[in-house]
Structure 1
Amino acid sequence: MCARKTFYIFVAATDGEQFCAVRQDQPIPAIIDGVRWMYVGCIDTARDKPYGFDADAAHAAMRRGGVYLYRRELMFRRANFLLEAA
């Protein structure tokens, strides 16, 4: 059952804020080719809460299409000072 909570995370080569998640117990889709999408790690939704990742939406996306796309963007912006989400 652990695999249902673990996702492989890939980042778009052209946009470092666009991510794709694939549940560990699912096949990696052909669009994840190592060129346009690159592997960056995995997360366990039982303990990891990365910014921009919605576990419920990710599981629903797995049922519909096999991938979950999400963005991680700057959360705060002040004059000449940026705080990036962890």
Structure 2
Amino acid sequence: MCARKTFYIFAKSSDGQLFCAVRQDQPIPRMIDGVQWRYVTCIDTTRDRPFGFDVDDANKAMRNGGVYFYKREFVFSQPRTLLQAA
């Protein structure tokens, strides 16, 4: 098992686009209480890449604060252009 590559994913209950990730080998912060933040899934970053999730940023966040926040939102720039992730 590679805990450094496995993250628990939680979704903000009041915002369907806001997520946070905690690496499996780190303690779950108190703010993740099952009410404001709810468990969604567990991912293995060697094969899973949820939209908006940046592995390098997630690992940096684990060193600095223990929680990685990210959003899944779309930005539409102009008609007839490709969809861009924010």
Question: Shorter-chain-normalised TM-score: which range?
Answer: 0.7 to 0.9
Cα deviation, residue 60, structure 1: 0.2
* Structure 2 unaligned regions, length at least 5: none
| Pairs within 5 Å for 1:1-86 | 2-74=2-74
Quote the Cα distance in structure 2 between the aligned partners of 1:68 and 1:13: 16
The alignment's TM-score, normalised by the length of structure 2, stands at: 0.85
SS state of the match for residue 60, structure 1?
helix
Q: What is the SS of the residue equivalent to 2:74?
A: coil
The structure in which a higher percent of residues are strand is 1
Q: Give the TM-score of the pair, scaled to structure 1.
A: 0.85
Task: Letter of the 2:72 partner, please give it.
Answer: R
RMSD: 1.9
5+ long unaligned stretches in structure 1: none
Q: Tell me how many residue pairs correspond in the alignment.
A: 81
